[in-house]
Amino acid sequence: MKPTLLLPPVVALIVVVVWLGNGRQKIAALEKETATLKQRLATRSNGFATDDPSGKGKPAGKQAKGKEPVDWKQVAAQMLEMNQGGGMGDMRSMIRLQKRLQDMEKEDLVAALEEIATMDLPDQSRQMLEQMLIGQLCQKDPELALTRHLDRLGDEGGGMSWQLANAMKEWTRKDPAKATAWFDKQIAAGKFDSRSLDGKSQPRMQFEGVLVANLLSHDEAAAAARLEALPENQRGELLRRYASNDVKAEDQLNYANLVRGVVSESEQATTLAQIAAREAHQDGYTAATEYLDRIKVTPSERAISVAQVANEKILNLSHKRKITREDIDGLREWASTQSPETSNEVTGSAIARSTEVNQRLEFSEAAELALHYQKESGSDEVLVRFLKDRPSFKDKAEVLKLAESISDGKIREEIIKSYQ
């Protein structure tokens, strides 16, 4: 999941992402908070102004005639308290505020930002307010947001650069030629130069990812040219982190051809596998199969995708509950139709993943599963891969005892030695 700061019309989700620290918390925590928020919003669908007996509530903006201006200091204090407390506070007040922000014209958003810039506020409070307002400006006038706030690309935490990249996405959809010309001009002016020792510029990669995903539908050559202008060791990462989520189903074959053409051979299969894992997470194994068939994967590409789908599927489930034998059975059934020669290894690796996060299996529970599938398959591959993938354990004696179940003496000794 990639959290977004531009999520209308579920009004408070933008604010929640900002309050949670601009995506710096673990994804599982964000998913849990978002799910809770959705439930609360569903029960309060008519609650935009229920705090006020008149049903009107206090206004939160100065863009509409007859409405009181926002007390930004009060809003900042509430947001800071909620952020530090880890809760959602008075959701009805926040929902009303978000509604007011959505109703503000771009001129009013700019005026509010200028007002906030003059206030005596803690840095964190100012940053939260500015991100909330700039997020709205990115939606209403992405070109204006970019031209006014490009100097914020380097803000600590990366939240602002991500918002501005979303503005670039919106602008690219509306006027791709103008947006691209503007971006190239900023690159030439050094605005996107790297400031890190590894030579990477995260903001540039974010913006390039937006453009590449857009170009795939109508100009594959231009998409390839943009990537080829970057060092080869950055191309796969750019596509995986900043482009793949925006690739439409009808453009997936073009995306795959781009990956095979400009990404280093060692990264190609894992870059293609990322979308397969996302499809499986969102829409199930069938969707992953359709994607793999659509992009005409080779057997080796399919095998790597199956492994990545399996590991991420199990990790995602483990954030919510313990993995069951039925989960592994379903995974094995799918894997055997896609890459039967690797299905046992995939099974062992997936069981190892089930011991790692949140609602994890105890080592003894995972070991029982591994032994079950070793017996069912008649192969050591499940157990060997389970142990090679270093499942979480507390008692080394348990691991060594389990390793004794490996029938191949040479491999058994290798595994035992690796744990000593």
Question: Looking at the whole model, is its pTM more than 0.75?
Answer: yes
**Residue 156, number of CB atoms within 10 A of its CB:** 9
Which pLDDT score, from 0 to 100, does residue 23 have? 38
User: Hunting for tokens 């959701």 — which residue is that?
Assistant: 91
Instruction: Read off φ and ψ for residue 248, nearest 5 degrees.
Output: -75, 160
pLDDT > 70 fraction of the chain, expressed in percent and rounded:
82
Mean pLDDT value across residues 38-43: 47
DSSP string, 292-324: HHHTT--HHHHHHHHHHHHHHHHHHHHTTS---
Q: Which of 275, 285, 288, 267 is nearest to 246 (CA)?
A: 275
Q: Whole-angstrom Cα distance, residue 79 to residue 95? A: 12
Report the alpha-carbon distance of residue 128 to residue 125 in Å, rounded. Answer: 5
**365: closest CA among 373, 379, 355?**
355
Closest CA to 99 of 10, 5, 4, 6: 10
CA–CA gap between residue 210 and residue 231 (Å, rounded):
18
Let me know if 325 is exposed, middle or buried by CB neighbors in 10 A (0-12, 13-18, 19+).
Answer: exposed
State residue 85's pLDDT score: 62
| Closest CA relative to residue 271, chosen from 313, 228, 242 | 242
Angstrom distance (rounded) from CA 191 to CA 178: 17
pLDDT top residue among 204 and 30? 204
Please indicate whether residue 107 or residue 67 has the higher confidence score (pLDDT): 107
Residue type, 201: S
Give tens-digit pLDDT for 19-38: 333 333 333 444 444 455 44
| Residue among 173, 149, 176, 144 nearest 160 (CA) | 149
Which region among 65-79, 83-97, 233-247, 284-298 has the lowest average model confidence (pLDDT)? 83-97
| Domain residue ranges of the chain, discontinuous segments joined by + | 90-140
Looking at residue 98, its pLDDT comes to: 82
